[in-house]
Structure 1
Amino acid sequence: MSNIKIVTDSAIALTPEEIAQYDITVVPLTVQIDGVVYEDGVTLQRDEFLEKMSKSDTLPQTSQPSIGKFQAAYDAIHQQYPESEILSMHLSSGLSGTVHAAEQAAALSAAKITTFDTLNADRAEAFPVLAAAKMAQAGASMAEILAEAEKVRSESHTFLSFTSLDNMVAGGRLSKTSGIIGNLLNIKVGATVDQTGSVEVVAKGRGMKAIAKFND
């Protein structure tokens, strides 16, 4: 049995099979849509989120897990596996305060916890987490796992394509006037998550051909 347990958050894209196979604990973020608060992956699934977002009057708002939720997760693992360490790997600090909440919770828990900023989200967040989980099951040390996670992190990248600028305006990343003009001119945007873990616009163009070229 592994002496290192893996914790992550619901911004990650893992299959239920991967979560079960590698015994990964997922702490959910919360999502507020039209005044209703959901737990990501618990009371709201990804396909439901997209449907509700398309019908929502306002842009959905996400919140990082509370320090209390992280501490509860850590303490539950520690109670069941008192001899195990915990590696808590999370959504980019450039996109969310999730990893900082994990760090604060770690200071309150009796468990021995190491936190790790994946500097990414979605499936790119999953790559270092899965690498760590596989090594943990194989009996690797924390130092060995962290070295491999850092290597995988450096090789993992996220690319984003925006076919509409509406959500960028609603999220405050683009002015309303720029959004209106951009939509009228059929402007499409390509972005990536940079080395600091923040979203950076790297391509703009008119029409879907611009997006197709960016995706290539």
Structure 2
Amino acid sequence: MSKVAILTDSNSGITQAQSKEFGIFVEPMPFYIDGQLYYEDIDLTQEQFYEKLTQGGEITTSMPITGNLMDSWDNILKDYDELVYIPMSSGLSSSCATAKMLSEDYDGRVVVVDNQRISVTQKLSALEAKKLADEGKSAQEICDALISNKSLSTIYITVDTLEYLKKGGRLTPAVAAIGSLLKIKPVLAIYGEKLDKFGVARTMKAAKQTMIDALKKDMKEVLKTENLDDVVISIAHTQNQEAAEKFREELLEAFPGKEIWIDPLSLSVSCHIGPGALACTITKKLIDID
């Protein structure tokens, strides 16, 4: 039986400390802030990131540096026969395509999974992959299982400010100005590989209800189940823990008795939407990870 390692990136929200607890390796994502290179959760904390973001720092995201990624693979493969690498969705970054190209030099020992996940859904995939590895599945078997489930997940996000969507070019200055004046709260959706507009609301309360209604609909129409035991529901946020806790109470009214995770949203997404955002996700379980 092959010894299989699981590696994801810090877009999953898995911290370096949690990586040891879960037995999952985590590649830190690089960020350039005012021209200086930082690595998520290595020399850049969530608090430092948001401080620099709100102070107007020039932040650009980057895919993992090629040499660093290959060094990680080489070091892991000293102790493992195979490696499953789960990067962020190919629709949100070119890092997945680059990793697939690099893996061609590893004679099948590195398998790159493009199951189009980000943040808490990416974390779930890594945890499921680890469980499958512990059960003796090969790297390719784990990849095939994750790919088979890739379309059975949706994410909805609402933002507290339109400033960062405007800055990133997702809203024109005129639309952003009108939206800010009217206090409009856009709701965005990640279906598979793309971040797109889903709807708008006039208040945060209405935006949250829009997202809750969308999760209910997706559970039946996308995930094809009415059994809460078949799904994982999560909340992600950008420097908004208190609001996330309150949102969990509202989700529990819609999904009674369901355990609901709360995690910080990936910094790669956060830099485009700013602080104060809330997101919720629903994903069909591949296996039980408890």
TM-score normalised by L of structure 2: 0.67
1:199 correspondence with 2:198: no
Q: Is the 8 A contact 1:65 1:101 kept in 2?
A: no
Deviation of the 1:116 alpha carbon? 0.5
Distance in 2 of aligned mates of 1:91 and 1:119: 7
Q: Give the aligned partner of residue 8 of structure 2.
A: 8
Distance in 1 of aligned mates of 2:108 and 2:77: 6
Q: Give the aligned partner of residue 131 of structure 2.
A: 134
Structure 1's 39 and 125: CA in aligned 2 closer, same or farther, altered over 3 A? same
Q: Give the aligned partner of residue 23 of structure 1.
A: 23
Aligned equivalent of 2:112, options 111, 115, 121 = 115
Aligned equivalent of 2:175, options 175, 178, 189 = 178
| Equivalent position amino acid for 2:175 in 1 | S
Q: Give the aligned partner of residue 231 of structure 2.
A: none
Deviation of the 1:151 alpha carbon? 4.3
Distance in 2 of aligned mates of 1:61 and 1:116: 25
Distance in 2 of aligned mates of 1:210 and 1:150: 34
- Aligned pairs (5 A) from 1:1-216: 3-16=3-16, 18-58=18-58, 60-81=59-80, 84-109=81-106, 112-195=109-192, 197-216=193-212
Deviation of the 1:136 alpha carbon? 0.4
Name the SS for the 1:135 alignment partner: helix
Identity, % of aligned positions: 27
Distance in 2 of aligned mates of 1:40 and 1:100: 21
Deviation of the 1:74 alpha carbon? 1.1
Name the SS for the 2:186 alignment partner: strand
Distance in 1 of aligned mates of 2:2 and 2:13: 23
| Equivalent position amino acid for 2:129 in 1 | A
Distance in 1 of aligned mates of 2:6 and 2:115: 13
Distance in 1 of aligned mates of 2:65 and 2:16: 23
Of stretches 99-108 and 171-180 in structure 1, the one that deviates more from structure 2 is 99-108
Q: Is the 8 A contact 1:22 1:134 kept in 2?
A: no
Structure 1's 110 and 150: CA in aligned 2 closer, same or farther, altered over 3 A? closer
The runs of 5 or more residues in structure 2 that have no matched partner are 213-290
The runs of 5 or more residues in structure 1 that have no matched partner are none
Q: Is the 8 A contact 1:128 1:153 kept in 2?
A: no
| Equivalent position amino acid for 2:141 in 1 | E
Q: C-alpha offsets along residues 35-69 of structure 1, whole Å, 9 cap, x if unaligned?
A: 332111211122321222112244x2110012211
Name the SS for the 1:200 alignment partner: strand
Distance in 1 of aligned mates of 2:172 and 2:87: 30
The number of residue pairs the alignment matches comes to 212
TM-score normalised by L of structure 1: 0.88
Q: Is the 8 A contact 1:74 1:111 kept in 2?
A: no
Distance in 1 of aligned mates of 2:210 and 2:2: 42
Q: Is the 8 A contact 1:157 1:192 kept in 2?
A: yes
| Equivalent position amino acid for 2:64 in 1 | P
Structure 1's 28 and 15: CA in aligned 2 closer, same or farther, altered over 3 A? closer
Name the SS for the 1:11 alignment partner: helix
Structure 1's 27 and 35: CA in aligned 2 closer, same or farther, altered over 3 A? same
| Equivalent position amino acid for 2:157 in 1 | L
